[in-house]
Copies of this chain bind each other. A is one copy, B any other.
Amino acid sequence: MQFVIIGGDAAGVIVLEQTTDVSYSACGMPYNIADADREMDDLVVRHARVFREKQGIDLRTGHRVESIDRDSKKVKGKNLRGEEFGISYDKLLIATGASPIMPDLPGFDVPGVMALKSLEDGKKIKDYMRAKDVKKAVIIGMGYIALEMCEALRARGIEVDMVKPRPVFLPWMAEELASAVKEEIENHGVGIHTGHKIERIEAEGNTLRVICPDLVLEGQMVLAAIGVKPNSELASKSGLELGPSGAIAVDRTLKTNDEDIYAAGDCADAYHVVTKQKAWVPLALRANRAGWAVADNVTGKKTELQGIVGSAIFKVFDLEVARTGLSVAEAEKSGFDPVEVVIKTRSRAHAHPGSTTIHLQIVGDKKSGRLLGMQIVGKEGAVHRIKAPSVALHSKMTVEAFSQCDLAYAPPFSPTWDPMLTAANQLLKKL
């Protein structure tokens, strides 16, 4: 059987990859950029030659697929030398990923205005920093990548300003928690400018200026990190159905509406276990898991993915930030009757040295009593803790059942009642 894959990163055999890089840790790029002495290629998990020589995979880099002919079951495109190719498939996997959104505004095409998605992008940024001896940078956007890049640039001693049009810093996050994150970033000397419409970028010598109606920020480098969009044009052009945010619609076996075409990774959508609706959450674990599930399904072992619950974590300076499930606004939009509790507590037991603050929000549904979501921010114990409510969301647990869980205690790690239990107990009184 001829199994063809378009895209060569987390899901992966004829593999057709338009760039020359395959199988690298994209999420690791900000941390690599933070360290001037490390090579970007450290992030390569498996080199092309390993796929080719040890795994017998026909990996063709520099091959850009331009169309899928579903009737004749053929993909067509051009390689880097401009030569056309046509390859037949029995089963096809589209794993084309996502791309950064670049605003269609004047000046975003000048050198020094960059985005971070591919390994190539990462190299470009790092080379540019070295060549231009960047002292000051502006980041447009305040999502995960923007925040991780802000930390990376500060680690290199670069002054950073962040700017975005929307007025709220982290709109999906409970206000008290978002304030704690903002404070952490500002304490590291970063300027956060929300609510400023970006009009254009102007270049003058080595200086780039981000121009807003009421603000001008300047630096030698501008990073556009306003978000990503699924690379689904190829799929769409060939008549495959799209889901939320224009991602390729797939069922629990990762199959598109074409019996012989699968999609996996950042280009495809997923079921959200809590909302029971489709969602587009382009994150590495889902991408990787979907790739494996396709491999199972193509080779005859039927695998169905339950779906995601909206878990995401990141680190910013000394703070861990974690979320799972739904925010209050998301819960309302999905037809729940959400009630929340926000607490501020200690990371360690009474009188235990080294304790820091934990901020935690819990959301439950007044109608069903179900746990709907949790967010945690703190210097320790936020990120791994969130995995417990993630499991509870998969189990469709009630807040009451969650509040009874045997979450172990020892003084270096929490008060006797884990902050998640304290919040659940308080929420129970409101349900």
Q: How many copies does the complex hold?
A: 2
Question: Does A192 belong to the interface (CB within 8 Å)?
Answer: no
Q: Is A388 an interface residue (CB 8 A)?
A: yes
A82 to B: closest C-beta gap in Å: 35
Residues of B within 8 Å of A240, CB to CB, are none
Partner among B43, B306, B353, B407 whose Cβ is within 8 Å of the Cβ of A350: B43
Give which listed residue, B28, B309, B353, B401, contacts A394 with CB less than 8 A. Answer: B401
What 0/1 readout, one digit per residue, does chain A (331-375) give for beta carbons within 8 Å of chain B?
Answer: 000000000000000000111110000000000000000000000
Residues in B with CB closer than 8 Å to A393 are 406
Residue interface mask A371-407, B partner, CB < 8 A = 1: 0000000000101111111111111010001101111
**How many residues on the A side are at the interface (Cβ–Cβ under 8 A)?**
69
For residue A383, which residues in chain B have a CB less than 8 angstroms away from its CB? 384, 408, 410, 413
Check: A315 CB closer than 8 A to any chain B CB: yes
- Pick from B25, B323, B394: contact of A411, CB below 8 A: B25
Contacts A416-B284, A416-B285 given; does A387 touch B407 at CB 8 Å: yes
A394 touches B404 (CB 8 A): yes
Proximity string of chain A (287-326) to chain B, C-beta cutoff 8 Å, 1 when within and 0 when not: 0110000000000000001111111111100001011100
B residues near A284, Cβ cutoff 8 Å: 409, 416
A353 & B408 in contact (Cβ 8 Å cutoff): no
Q: Are B313 and A413 in contact (CB under 8 A)?
A: yes
Q: Are A351 and B28 in contact (CB under 8 A)?
A: yes
Q: A25-B351, A28-B350 are in contact. List 5 more A-B contacts (CB 8 A).
A: A45-B350, A284-B409, A307-B406, A313-B409, A390-B405
Q: Can you report 16 A-B residue pairs in the complex whose CB atoms are below 8 A from each other? A: A10-B416, A43-B350, A285-B406, A288-B417, A289-B404, A305-B404, A308-B406, A313-B410, A314-B410, A320-B413, A383-B408, A383-B413, A384-B385, A391-B391, A391-B395, A394-B404
